[in-house]
Structure 1
Amino acid sequence: LNWAGSVLATEKGVQPPTISDSVLVDFAGTGRDINHVASGFLHGFTTDGLSPSDALVLPLKVYMVRATPPATRTQAARMKQLGVKQQVVLSDNWYFGYTSSFLPGDNNDWSIWDTFVTNEVNEIIKKGITDNVEFDIWNEPDHPYFWPRPQDQILYAYYRAFNIIKKMLPNATIVGPSVSSNASNKVINFLGWCKKRNIVPDVIAWHFPSNIVAEVQAVRTWLAKNGLSNVKININEYTLGTEQYAGKHAWLISQLERAQVDAAIHAIWSDQSTGTLDDILTPSYEPKASWWVYKGYGDVSGKTVTTTPGKNVDLFAGKDSKTKSINVLLGTKLNLQPGDVKVKFAKLSQAFPGFIPRGRQVSVKVERIAEGSGGALSGLETVYEATMPMKDNFEVLISWMDPHDAYVVHIGQVPEN
């Protein structure tokens, strides 16, 4: 193996015959601070907030949780201790439930809705957590399960709730519309409706983008053109039920970071409020492959590094000036054909300008996050590890045989003897 050429990270010695995809990590530029904004979970903790344990939470650098009003209140102390932001879904505590025969505004009766919103906000105020809670008014108001009424009715419910919350808490952070998708330009249409009435949410949110980068860019462009660049963007549910595996989780995280969203939250499809962090832990709190993906994401620290995705593979990379280390998380879509994935590194000397690593050498380690059968995973498989002479441009070839898997690459100083 030659540093001037490439490093081949094979899986158990299998060398596939083709280059399946190619990605680039370019160390030129300063990058932006890494805050792990895609490490968010919906109903992922137990209602009391006590599970899972710190040992399973801290490595993931959790940024935000989304929960019911009762859970938001009972979890508040733990979330503050962990430094995790909270988003409360007011509609999750609606007196009569989503399938009720009575919903806000039925029979033109708004008094119950107004009282409900007022009471929920008062509970947050009494808990003393208004500085750490965002108010999401209604979940998926475009979905017939969550809102089987005309859209005009839920829009007026949002209008009333917005004004009640802002009157009670002028600095409150309001989230909306949290629609189930951005089909038919729902998000921008909602923003236009809100702008005319001066009730634009502080955070614009929607679920399950079909094209994360393009949709976020379109909304951000609209916001800028309309003088609303201060509005944040949160994909407050991502990962479909068919996407619960390591390779896709890593790809989605990379896409969310590429779009530079302000926050993103993993959706829940089973195990609600059981403390499995949306099923990335087993019922007995053992890490699955996807837990290791979020741990790998948490390990990417410091400043972002410029990356270029491939056709199916995407990646997120960071450089930490304190530890002089580089970490990369890689994921893929299922269309990836078995073969070598070429990871090209450029301008390594610019990662930490002026810094010369010990012995002018660096260590390179590639690990596989194996999805397997989807059960517990005790650790990662090292598929390549070596010490190499320092060189500006080089390649790592990963033998990527199963698109359900994800990979991490670590580059750092050679340990002292």
Structure 2
Amino acid sequence: MKLALKRVLPRRAPAQRALSRLSVLALIVGASLVSPAGPAQAAGNTLTVDVGSVVRPVTHVGSGGLYGVGSNTKPTTDQLLPLSPHGFTQPPPGTTHLGNGATEPCCDALGVADNITRAGAQQLIRMPDIYPTFPYRWQGWADWEQKVRTMVQDRLAATSTTNIRGWELWNEPDWTWDTAAAGSFNAGWTRTHRLIRSLDPVTPIVGPSDSYYSHDRMVSFLRNARDTNTLPDVIVWHELTDMDWDNFDDHVADYRAIERSLGISPREIAINEYNSLSQMDIPSVAVHWISVLERHGAREAHRAYWYEAGTFDGLFTLQGQPTASYWAYRWYGTQAGNVVRTTPQSWLDGVAAYDSSRKIVNVVLGGDSGNNSVRVNGLGSFGSSVRVTVNAVPGSGRHTHVAAPTVLSTSTMPVSNGTVTVPVNGMTAEGAYQVVVTPAGGPTSAWQQVYEAENANVVNAQTRASSGASNGSYVGGIDGTADMRSQSFVDFTVNVPTARTYTMAVRYANGTGATSTHGLAYNGGAFSTVSYPPTAGWGQFGTTTVTVSLRAGYNMIRLAKGSPNFPGGTGYAELDSITLS
């Protein structure tokens, strides 16, 4: 989507639940930030958080952006790291694209790859953004196929770039594909898919990337892709209309039903453009989106590109300063451990995580005005009272610098039957809020020391569940060494209080019966070797200890079976967590 082409999108009829809220739509945040208004029944709502009900490991699904990174230094890596970005979609190498009034092309995937890697994220390459204009001007099949060959060859030549996790074959074909000149999109998908696979049989292919979810188009696309053996590895569509968060669960359910009906194995879902132009600057709307994306099973989601490249789609001003929405994403970025179940009421919604290593419940919420509350259940291990902090940011947009959140309250509250109800008073419908709950004496450690592998940037490996793992999950299948497309590693983003040497305990499993090894590097430095003596079996964990010299603040630590500048580990090992002390 590009700013100059704002339009009303057709869409599948929403569920009755969404229709019943239509009368509220005009009153809620989507109308305007100039004259904000709350919902008709604003106050007295409760967001319920169930600490013991795990949804998934924290991976910050919603913390991504389309054209979110503008260069190798914009935003800076130090600005990106606190946001825990999950993924980006960037233009291809050799791009000539001029998006949203830009006067020169920017930020191709290979040019910004180092910045994104340092920030612990991966990226998709949007191939049709090789063209200068949007909508794209088709120049014929010979031209397109030559462009595809060049883009793929340029990527394959970038042997040190490990963070490309997908070719996005086209963008919004429901209205940008030139059927008259190029033939049907389904046939064009098959032809292009086969060409890419002849050049690069490894990198995933993602699509179809329609501008809105359409049942009929999805059925047609998937049936053709199944029958021609050109199924995408990851399914993609966009969510760009006002209030579409209220329909996302319906879209996911419908898509899964189509997969089953066509006998297609489940694909991961990426929403690589989300949020509408009119609501993009509203922090509470971002919270709505993050909440449903986490709740309903997206792998990743990227903020839509309505604004200038390199501002993380409005999280930073043009001068590179944080906006109000930035702080909502930063709160979200500090979540660790497991995402736990939240139950919204009326327009009050949120995403919550529980870090059991520090006993921190971190809730990010918004969407209603007036006096509301957050009820947190499952706090039996916290003791008879808890410390509660409530923070807030206003509903201001992308041109307003917000230097820091406002602390609304810090208090000690009693716990009754494992439950505390936290008042969040004076809410605005557009603002975002954070509720942090810890034991009365504070977190169990002054800074985060335990980092779960499943919360990290997992590349060419799999997250698996196990009751024997420290947080219920671990990372296995860390097996790839062939080249930059298939090398396997886990990148941990850690945040330490002082520059010094730290002891790092690696909790691992090794069922090979012999000592295995990984490469260890941090902050782009040289690799050393970590040895893993045999454990009792796969999914049965032991600990090995090494030392690392870290700078104050954020650091990136890589444990790799295969990685550029590393000859490759021996044997195999699974990773549960690292602990710094």
TM range (shorter): 0.7 to 0.9
1:60 is aligned to 2:95: no
C-alpha distance in 1, partners of 2:163/2:289? 29
* Structure 2 counterparts to residues 3-402 of structure 1, below 5 A: 19-46=43-70, 48-70=71-93, 71-94=108-131, 97-98=133-134, 102-104=138-140, 110-128=141-159, 129=161, 132-143=164-175, 146-150=176-180, 152-183=183-214, 185-208=216-239, 210=244, 211-243=247-279, 244-272=281-309, 275-332=310-367, 336=368, 338-349=369-380, 355-356=381-382, 360-372=384-396, 375-391=400-416, 392-402=418-428
Partner letter of residue 308 of structure 1?
Answer: T
Cα–Cα, structure 1 residues 188 and 294, in superposed 2: closer, same or farther, change >3 Å? farther
Q: Helix, strand or coil: the match of 1:167?
A: helix
Structure 2, unaligned runs of 5 or more:
1-40, 94-107, 447-581
Equivalent residue number for residue 3 of structure 1: none
| 1:238-276 deviation digits (Å, cap 9, x = unpaired) | 01101121111111111111111011010011112xx21
C-alpha distance in 1, partners of 2:300/2:321? 26
C-alpha distance in 2, partners of 1:413/1:45? 38
Q: Helix, strand or coil: the match of 1:69?
A: coil
Is the contact between residue 382 and residue 439 of structure 2 (CA under 8 Å) also seen in structure 1? Answer: no
Deviation at 1:309, TM superposition (A): 1.4
C-alpha distance in 1, partners of 2:429/2:152? 45
| 1:108-134 deviation digits (Å, cap 9, x = unpaired) | xx3222222111111110012366331
TM-score, normalising length: structure 1: 0.84
Q: Helix, strand or coil: the match of 1:344?
A: strand
Cα–Cα, structure 1 residues 415 and 238, in superposed 2: closer, same or farther, change >3 Å? same
C-alpha distance in 1, partners of 2:138/2:77? 41
Partner letter of residue 132 of structure 1?
Answer: I
C-alpha distance in 1, partners of 2:55/2:397? 37
Is the contact between residue 165 and residue 172 of structure 1 (CA under 8 Å) also seen in structure 2? Answer: no
TM-score, normalising length: structure 2: 0.62
Partner letter of residue 25 of structure 1?
Answer: V
Deviation at 1:399, TM superposition (A): 2.2
Q: Helix, strand or coil: the match of 1:412?
A: strand
C-alpha distance in 2, partners of 1:59/1:222? 38
C-alpha distance in 1, partners of 2:92/2:432? 35
Deviation at 1:217, TM superposition (A): 2.0
Equivalent residue number for residue 14 of structure 1: none
Q: Decide which moves more: 383-392 or 36-45.
A: 383-392
RMSD: 2.3
Deviation at 1:152, TM superposition (A): 4.2
Instruction: Among all aligned residue pairs of Structure 1 and Structure 2, give the percentage whose two residues are the same amino acid.
Output: 28
Is the contact between residue 98 and residue 147 of structure 1 (CA under 8 Å) also seen in structure 2? Answer: no
C-alpha distance in 2, partners of 1:161/1:373? 40
Is the contact between residue 305 and residue 318 of structure 1 (CA under 8 Å) also seen in structure 2? Answer: yes
Name which structure has the greater RCO, CA cutoff 8 Å, separation 6+. 1
Partner letter of residue 177 of structure 2?
Answer: W
Q: What is the count of residue pairs matched by the alignment?
A: 379
C-alpha distance in 2, partners of 1:165/1:130? 18
- Higher helix content, 1 or 2: 1
Structure 1, unaligned runs of 5 or more:
1-16, 105-109, 350-354
Cα–Cα, structure 1 residues 348 and 268, in superposed 2: closer, same or farther, change >3 Å? same
Is the contact between residue 19 and residue 342 of structure 1 (CA under 8 Å) also seen in structure 2? Answer: no
Q: Helix, strand or coil: the match of 1:251?
A: helix
